[in-house]
Amino acid sequence: MKARDGIRRDVLTFLLVLVVLSTGLFVLFFIYGESIPLVFAMMWSPGIAAIVGISGVLRVHERT
C-alpha cells in the first residue's frame, strides 16, 4: 500500500512540474515573442518532463 501511495505522489508531482514548466514557457514565449523559438519551447518541456519522470520511477524502484 505504501508503494502505491508513493507512486501516486510521484505521478502528481510529475504532472504538476509538467504543467508549471509548460505554462512558464508559454508565458515567456508570449512576453518575448519571436526571440524564443516555439520549436525550442516544444522540445524543451517534454525533455525536462521525461527526466523528472525517469528519476521519479527510479526513486520508486529504490524504495521497494
Write out pLDDT tens, residues 4-52.
Answer: 777 788 888 888 888 887 777 777 767 766 655 666 666 666 777 777 7
Q: How far is CA 5 from the centre of its chain?
A: 19
pLDDT at 61 over 70: no
- At residue 63, the pLDDT reads 64
Cα dihedral sign for 29, 35, 39, 45?
Answer: negative
pLDDT at 56 over 80: no
Domain residue ranges of the chain, discontinuous segments joined by +: 2-63
Return the C-alpha cell found at 11. 505521478
- At residue 9, the pLDDT reads 82
Full-model pTM:
0.42
